[in-house]
Amino acid sequence: MDPGFALNTQRRRGGMRWWVLVLFAGYLGYYWLSHRQEAAFTGRTQMVDTTMDQEVALGLQGFQQILAESQVVREGEAVNEVREVARRLIDAGPKLEQHLATTRGVSAVTPWDQFEWEVAVIESDQANAFCLPGGKMAVYTGILPIAQNDDALAAIMGHEIAHAILRHGAERMAQQKLVQIGSVAAGMSTSDMDPRQRQMVMAAIGVGTQYGVMLPFSRKHESEADYVGLMLASAACFNPAESIGLWQRMGANSAGKAPPEFMSTHPSSDTRIQQLQGWMDEANQIRAQFCEKH
């Protein structure tokens, strides 16, 4: 074999196409600047590249599919309880939004008029609830014994409503799009590497993205929904202190089942309790302001 050919082959295999990463970084900056907006209730900057109409349509489609595949409870005490808690939370939303706009200068406004609220109760052992974009909400009966009372149920449902009004689903879609593009850019930039070396680099990038970006991003959303949900429940005149007992029971229910926090999409129950305790003074102040008779 020609020594010069072998040397050139080694050089090609050992090279990194840095220009690809530079282009991706430039695109990332442009994408962020062109799709950033202020989040409702918190005022933080978020990245969203879908319209509210698109999100509402996706939420309706997903909700209809879930209900078609589930055993929906049509009437009874549980249904009445869930609907009443939802009504109070929904009614309190605009008031809380106005309060935070006045006290914190949050200018973003949630398009409540685009949300067509609908609440369902689903017969299931799952300890779960959700609220999709557009206000399509469901509570699984398996979470009711853990909630134990309306105040704790309000913390659960307020958390789920917060995900929808903060447009967390749209944020995750935008983030996943960038991660996919970044993966393609990483693959192109390492295409000249030795196959083994390239495999190691790509694996390291994948692990770093998962544990350094995706999971922390998800946990941040959960904490933000905990905060807004707690304030929403307080503005609806529920007792925010019941959220502590709720997460103590949730922790006991998931004992031995949940992965370590750094490997999870959700904060641990202990972390959530600590955060809720830190927000309790503010929650009580909001409750006192809106609910003097309670």
* Gap between the Cα atoms of 153 and 285, Å rounded: 20
The structural domain count of the chain equals 1
114 lies in some domain: yes
pLDDT of residue 65: 95
Confidence check: pLDDT of 123 > 90: yes
pLDDT digits (tens, 9 = 90+) for 197-209: 777 776 777 777 7
13 lies in some domain: no
Query: Where residue 241 falls among pLDDT bands split at 50, 70, 90?
Result: very high
274 lies in some domain: yes
pTM for the whole thing? Answer: 0.84
12 lies in some domain: no
Give the residue numbers annotated as catalytic, written as ranges.
160
209 lies in some domain: yes
11 lies in some domain: no
211 lies in some domain: yes
196 lies in some domain: yes
**Mean pLDDT score, 266-275:** 91
Q: Domain span at residue 156?
A: 18-290
pLDDT digits (tens, 9 = 90+) for 84-114: 999 999 999 988 888 887 887 777 667 777 7
